[in-house]
Structure 1
């Protein structure tokens, strides 16, 4: 595969005919990955006048030579090389898609505040349950976790190697999860107050930790001032146009006369206590932008994670991105999108997204054996090549969260499989994220069972030490793993091979077969490796 390229206005005159023709160069491309149906080739070129036209010269496995151009596949002739090129007329901004450099070297830790630690019992909600990591929480249960609890354990998180704190919602709300916001400008009193939050952010920053908050802008809480005004005043409410209301008069969502309890308004999913905001409304946009910038300007947060981001107006996200970048250089914006996300990743909306497609492929091979190693590698390669490199470097790579079963449970309680999967995502392009309690070996089924109170009795125990080693490895080689190229493959013995090339050269092997495989490596990090053989569920990572 070769690239035929040049400036569209650069010509050379043929000596025989004195006719000017397009001047082009030819450069060989490098194969960088193999997906399910496509191979991927890459080449970096620099154009001095910020424009380019190009096409590809392809040699088939049968020896046939063709050109792939803007008009499709054509014969590779001298005439065809001069026309029908792809063209980028002018790079308006050479680095139009920018993502924060600091994020590429960050290891995130997701905190569900109500279940992380109870540092101040004086703000416990009524009916709080005893702190029991073996409990199976109900949807309405409270255990008393708060921001003081996070502040009390910052040193523990620092020892683990964490340098990014990702908080589930902390704003005033009626539920334990706080995704039903009542007041975006206030800390929920069950968690503390603004003075405490300011102290927490300052202490995190002092330890080199970034802070990311959860923005729930797709919907608002049933008890919010805005929605209560609509319930009271109907279509004469000044907030009526803030929502998607299908009929009046509104009745309580649990009123039997209301079509069996079905809401008369659009909601998040089918949650009647979370009415959906009309984010195309300029007044709603202005209100939400005031919130977004307030927490940056007042408390110096570093990032927003955007809940249900794919259901919010694109125009609003463009305004949101501009407003946050104007507040703070290199501010990070991560969207919650569970499917292909390119429309949001063109430099004007999000930096990256929660990489659920990545998560699913890893889990289906490493944790549940639902797909082969080869299939996983191909799908992950397709996923990696779907986005610009600068976006891929700040995708949020998780294995579990407050929305999903914990990795140890998905792995059937097999600690070695869970650790192998965790080590794998820490070698990949993107920002790794640990869900609270993973380092404690916590289990839990789908929501709400994945939200058990933190098991602090396991602090410093063997499972904690193993997770710490994985985190510390990522931190030790942050530059390489945050920005270097990635190549995935499966070798002849069935081992998954990861190569990262940048400031150094990393080679890692993961054994998901049923047999020990002979291997000679000088490991920086390993599991199940004795110097000669890599055991099933093992991994070994070498850096040169």
Structure 2
């Protein structure tokens, strides 16, 4: 038994309050090293005849990655307090693992055990419940639809021509309003808009005025109408805020440019020295080294108040449902804690999504974000299904590692995407292989979390990195891939219709064939089995007895055989209810 690999920490993803009465506990060990782990737990104040009274619960092997096995148990402490340890069995030996190390026998001093001092409901991570049922659709407003040509700039290019990084095509709020039927037909119930606030560029990530909509898109009343119409159709709305940096034409920054050290706004930014620029060198912090995006000093009380008032204003006045926060990892945790308190005090079920591309546990402890953009999962899914860069085992290892990096409550609200305005389009990454794309969508829309579709992916749009991934939406049906549209539509329909397909079902990989990816989604009344064959050959899968007789969810047929043939780049979804 490799004791050095056995690990638990009573914090974060290893021990946390799942809800007001349940504690989730996880331990990890070297892969295939232990045969069984039992959780030993009890209230620290319950003793009898001088002995601590504890219970034993067998932990579930909840998954494995390349190096580790993960063991999981959920317990409901009667008095909301816990002391606990682990009995680890394997290699013909059994040991007790505690906070103070390993013991051959159960130590009598409970001070040796791990402690969960008290389960406070307020400490449980709580994302809005509605998010778990949401399928998002990301819209880049400038490229979605031109509904009012009178708003177009003089340099507006013809819709559908090739973009460059400075192109304008005239997309606006009216265009989105005109095309909501398309989104409703697809089945989405959440829209994520990239920034709509006044700015100089087509992407609007260089905010000029945080309290004004960009006139290229329309006016505030039109935006209100758009949001009201979305809500009437039961579609949530998420706006994009850029609080890490402003635009070059932001009035306070222009004041600093004009008045230098005498500017009352000089402390709104991170200025190294004056003048602000000498040649190509800037003397202030920016997003990267982009001089047009000066970094805001969120430790300055005036800046902080301005941004917090901005966040509250758009919720109060426009009834938005969510904020997506750009470059969120470069803003202080302290600011985001205050941001959460401010927006949740106005609308408790507002969804807060941070742009963080790497491990994000520091932001996901219930005091800052409800989710981050799950690029870690996106990279894993895209590498396997679209690029063919990983084996089935490598894919399963990475997904398991990611799932066990966070609490279940975090995974249920995770914002899962395949591509975005910052990446090449998924079909292009898949070398325009539509069958591989369908398998990617299948996994994406049957996985735990809240999935997002980038505009146009559902009709087969292609595009390399910016600016090509920001091409104009294709609206001529003869130019759209309607078969792909209906495929995605059906997956979304199943996700809405079957709780276990969505977030009301445990996720677990199951090994049925070395080249295929198989997994289950289960709850107390439903079982789903997914088998995905990403290869160029038909594979035969022998099903365990308890999967026999399940219905083929895609075709409606019943599978009576113990063997299933999965065609090349094909799939099988089996379903049964108790």
Q: Give yes or no for TM over 0.5.
A: yes
- Which one of the candidate residues 21, 32, 38 is aligned to 2:62? 32
Over residues 69-89 of structure 1, what are the superposed CA-to-partner deviations in whole Å (9 max), with x where a residue is unaligned? 1123x1331336845111011
Contact kept in structure 2, 1:500 and 1:506, CA below 8 Å: yes
Measured after TM superposition, the shift of residue 523 of structure 1 is: 2.2
Query: Which blocks of at least 5 consecutive residues in structure 1 are unaligned?
Result: 14-19, 252-257
Over residues 88-139 of structure 1, what are the superposed CA-to-partner deviations in whole Å (9 max), with x where a residue is unaligned? 112233652111110000000000000000011010112111111xx33100
Contact kept in structure 1, 2:196 and 2:204, CA below 8 Å: yes
Contact kept in structure 2, 1:4 and 1:27, CA below 8 Å: yes
**In the aligned structure 1, how far is the partner of 2:110 from the partner of 2:445?**
45
Is 1:535 matched up with 2:567? yes
Name the counterpart of 1:471. 492
Contact kept in structure 1, 2:136 and 2:451, CA below 8 Å: yes
Measured after TM superposition, the shift of residue 490 of structure 1 is: 3.9
**In the aligned structure 1, how far is the partner of 2:421 from the partner of 2:108?**
55
Over residues 207-237 of structure 1, what are the superposed CA-to-partner deviations in whole Å (9 max), with x where a residue is unaligned? 0100000011000000010110110111221
Measured after TM superposition, the shift of residue 526 of structure 1 is: 7.2
Name the counterpart of 1:491. 512
Measured after TM superposition, the shift of residue 488 of structure 1 is: 2.0
Over residues 33-65 of structure 1, what are the superposed CA-to-partner deviations in whole Å (9 max), with x where a residue is unaligned? 1112111122111112221110111112x1211
Is 1:207 matched up with 2:228? no
- Which one of the candidate residues 1, 4, 7 is aligned to 2:43? 7
Name the counterpart of 1:423. 442
Q: Provide the aligned C-alpha RMSD in A.
A: 1.9
Name the counterpart of 2:355. 336
Cα 1:449–1:478 change in 2 (3 A) is farther
- Which one of the candidate residues 86, 90, 109 is aligned to 2:137? 109
**Which segment is superposed worse, 506-515 or 442-451?**
506-515
Name the counterpart of 2:242. 216
Is 1:70 matched up with 2:84? no
Contact kept in structure 2, 1:374 and 1:490, CA below 8 Å: no
Following superposition of structure 1 onto structure 2, how do residues 343-492 of structure 1 map, counting pairs within 5 Å? Answer: 343-458=362-477, 461-478=482-499, 480-492=501-513
State TM-score, norm by structure 2. 0.88
Over residues 424-460 of structure 1, what are the superposed CA-to-partner deviations in whole Å (9 max), with x where a residue is unaligned? 0111111110000011100000111100000112358
Contact kept in structure 2, 1:285 and 1:316, CA below 8 Å: yes
Measured after TM superposition, the shift of residue 24 of structure 1 is: 0.9
Contact kept in structure 1, 2:248 and 2:294, CA below 8 Å: yes
Contact kept in structure 2, 1:109 and 1:162, CA below 8 Å: yes
- Alignment partner of 1:227: what SS? helix
**In the aligned structure 1, how far is the partner of 2:351 from the partner of 2:468?**
30
- Alignment partner of 2:170: what SS? coil
Name the counterpart of 1:517. 539
**In the aligned structure 1, how far is the partner of 2:551 from the partner of 2:500?**
21
**In the aligned structure 1, how far is the partner of 2:52 from the partner of 2:193?**
55
**In the aligned structure 1, how far is the partner of 2:502 from the partner of 2:425?**
25
Measured after TM superposition, the shift of residue 514 of structure 1 is: 3.0
State TM-score, norm by structure 1. 0.93
Measured after TM superposition, the shift of residue 369 of structure 1 is: 1.5
Cα 1:351–1:8 change in 2 (3 A) is same
**Which segment is superposed worse, 185-194 or 385-394?**
385-394
Contact kept in structure 2, 1:50 and 1:94, CA below 8 Å: no
Deviant stretches of 4+, over 4 Å: 80-83, 529-532
Is 1:282 matched up with 2:301? yes
**Which segment is superposed worse, 466-475 or 201-210?**
466-475
**In the aligned structure 1, how far is the partner of 2:118 from the partner of 2:177?**
50
Over residues 287-314 of structure 1, what are the superposed CA-to-partner deviations in whole Å (9 max), with x where a residue is unaligned? 1000100010111100001100000011
- Alignment partner of 2:282: what SS? coil
Measured after TM superposition, the shift of residue 324 of structure 1 is: 1.1
- Alignment partner of 1:288: what SS? helix
Over residues 165-184 of structure 1, what are the superposed CA-to-partner deviations in whole Å (9 max), with x where a residue is unaligned? 00000000000000000011
Contact kept in structure 2, 1:402 and 1:447, CA below 8 Å: yes
**In the aligned structure 2, how far is the partner of 1:263 from the partner of 1:279?**
20
- Which one of the candidate residues 201, 218, 222 is aligned to 1:196? 222
**In the aligned structure 2, how far is the partner of 1:175 from the partner of 1:319?**
30
Contact kept in structure 2, 1:493 and 1:517, CA below 8 Å: no
Is 1:126 matched up with 2:126? no
Name the counterpart of 1:504. 526
- Which one of the candidate residues 95, 99, 119 is aligned to 2:127? 99
Contact kept in structure 2, 1:411 and 1:417, CA below 8 Å: yes
Contact kept in structure 2, 1:526 and 1:539, CA below 8 Å: no
